[in-house]
């Protein structure tokens, strides 16, 4: 269990004034939190679990490789992306649906 002095030190660092009842309550609460963190940390240190006898060598990456490709003009690529994301444009601005209406 966390000591009264440790709670008072934390209170000093947080610039809190605590009554004796609050110190006792925080001792219990902080101890419970630290115990729970210890339990979670013990479980997370075990690593991933594998189902039905599979081994780590069975795992493989299903993502495709990133392949860089050249564009003729970087700005043209940017415009293409903006056009696909925002079909309506006015000059350099994207036109989006109005979602906030002012009540009158």
Residue 71, pLDDT score? 65
Per-residue pLDDT at 90:
84
- Write out pLDDT tens, residues 46-84: 666 655 555 566 677 788 888 887 766 666 677 777 777
What is this structure's pTM?
0.43
For residues 101 and 90, the model is more confident at 90
| Cα–Cα distance measured from residue 30 to residue 27, given in angstroms and rounded to the nearest whole number | 5
- Report how far Cα 42 is from the mean position of its chain's Cα atoms: 21
Instruction: Pick one of 3.30.1490, 2.40.160, 1.10.20, 1.10.3470 as the CATH number of 4-44.
Output: 1.10.20
Domain boundaries, the chain: 4-44
């Amino acid at each position: 269990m966390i000591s009264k002095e440790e709670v008072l030190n934390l209170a000093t660092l947080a610039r809190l004034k605590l009554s004796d009842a609050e110190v006792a309550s925080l001792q219990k609460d902080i101890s419970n939190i630290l115990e729970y963190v210890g339990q979670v940390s013990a479980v997370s240190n075990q690593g991933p679990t594998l189902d039905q006898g599979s081994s780590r060598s069975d795992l493989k990456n299903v993502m495709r490789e990133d392949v860089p490709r050249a564009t003729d003009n970087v700005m043209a690529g940017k415009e293409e992306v903006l056009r696909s994301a925002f079909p309506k444009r006015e000059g350099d601005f994207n036109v989006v649906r109005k979602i906030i209406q002012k009540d009158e």
